[in-house]
Amino acid sequence: MLPGAKDVMESQTSLSADVVIVGAGPGGATAAAHLANAGLDVVLLEKTTFPREKVCGDGLTPRAVKQLLNLGIDTSESAGWLHNRGLRIVGGGNRLEIPWPDLASFPNYGLVRPRADFDELLARTAEAAGARLFEQTPVTGAILDDRTGRVIGVTTRARDGGPSEVRAPIVIAADGNSSRLALSVGREKRDDRPMGVAVRTYYKSPRDKDDWLESWLELWDGTALLPGYGWIFGMGDGTCNVGLGILNTSDAFGKVDYKDLLSKWLDQTPEEWGFREENRTQEVRGAALPMGFNRQPHYERGLLLVGDAGGMVNPFNGEGISYAMESGSLAAEIIANAHAAGSAEALERALQGYPAALKSTYGGYYTLGRWFVDLIGHPEVMRMATRHGLKRERLMRFTLKLLANLTDPSDGDVNDRVINALSKITPAA
């Protein structure tokens, strides 16, 4: 056990562990699985019961595929995954199919799987690795050390005999955009970071086995072109996940009826695709997309933030799952290395390095992303990009690499070198 964990006596209502993780979504479950595989005692708390719904496009880029492979998860079609070849972009009267790039650092395919199934698979993977998973265990607050103010555990409102508190020298907040745990210790969201809103639903459709992720770059609110995009992702089960995302860089943000906008967009699609009210199989649901490190610091006084709790959604494309899993993996690596060092001082030094590691990995890129969303907040820029950019396939291949953050760090092509250089020289914040 980590320093301090043995100082806590366990009972039926109080548990101790090396690490307690709040939230068993992609970030929390990934961290739990890697920590358990490293031999640490991990308690993973989930407020709901699996399977459970999450608002998402259900599409995974090669970044997320890599994280699944690192966890030893079978991503074959026979294991229930629908593979996709790349991105189909529609806009400005143009239509372009761009395959995922062939890279040494990432697989060359993406995946689709419903979040209800996907999240449970990750949570069960963590549980199989040795993490103690407690479902229906909402966390009610942080336990603070009276002397230092350090977070040393959490209290819960457990059901079915779960713990009323879990104490650990390290706590990970992976409880999503609202992150009540982070808020309880004073970590508020930053207003100088972009925010998105996404809505989605499902329709019965003959396009359910499409092997491209489809993105529509023109969303109109009457006569105004909005900064955002719509998506159509085949699920392979007779339905398509269809939705749209809007950025807060538009004057229309928060004023648009998103469900109505979704309906108006889909009315423009061919009737034979099935995207009409009579074919809708689920309600239209929405969620916030916290972008560009909108909650910081990512570590302070025993509490680390991963995924949406730390605002790690990619500003360029609204992708969150990959970055939740990657930050969970990074947090686990840092904690496991500190555990091997065996002292409280080494542990704290390692944890202090977590925010720096995040900024080194994503900081410059996310700054570019913030500039990007500010730019496309101007309708005339968005209109020019869709009308003229899609005609230039070489430019769009570069754009896909940039937006999806898919490059090789070394020995890549000229596009990789340009994107990597831009990310490196751009200041992180």
H or E segment and range at residue 154: strand 151-156
| Confidence label for 227 from pLDDT (cuts 50, 70 and 90) | low
Q: pLDDT-derived band of residue 9, with 50, 70 and 90 as boundaries?
A: very low
Q: In angstroms, rounded to a whole number, what is the distance separating the alpha carbons of residues 307 and 66?
A: 16
- Is 392 a residue whose pLDDT tops 70? yes
What is the residue type of 398? F
Residue type, 426: T
Report the C-alpha gap between 214 and 406 in whole angstroms. 18
Residues in the chain: 429
Q: Are strands 110-112 and 59-60 parallel, antiparallel or unpaired?
A: antiparallel
Q: Tens digit of pLDDT for each residue in 25-43? A: 999 999 999 999 999 999 9
pLDDT higher than threshold 90 for residue 5: no
- Residue 330 CA to residue 190 CA, distance in Å, equals 23
Cα–Cα dist 8/16, whole Å: 6
Q: Which of 317-331, 336-350, 415-429 shows the lowest per-residue confidence on average (mean pLDDT)?
A: 336-350
Does residue 263 or residue 92 have the better pLDDT? 263
Q: What is the percent of the chain where pLDDT is above 90?
A: 75
Burial of 70 (0-12, 13-18, 19+ CB in 10 A): middle
Single pTM value for the model: 0.94
Residue 270's SS3 state is: coil
pLDDT at residue 111 in the model? 98
Give me the pLDDT at residue 222, please: 64
Per residue in 49-69, pLDDT (tens digit) is 999 989 999 999 999 999 999
**Per-residue pLDDT reduced to its tens digit, 353-383:** 999 999 999 999 999 999 998 887 776 777 7
pLDDT digits (tens, 9 = 90+) for 138-184: 999 999 999 999 999 999 998 777 889 999 999 999 999 999 999 99
Which residues, in sequence order, are CB contacts of 41 under 8 Å at separation 6+? 1, 5, 17, 18, 19, 132
- Return the percentage of the chain with pLDDT > 70, whole number: 95
Domains of the chain: 5-54+115-191+294-367 (3.50.50.60), 59-114+194-290 (3.50.50.60)
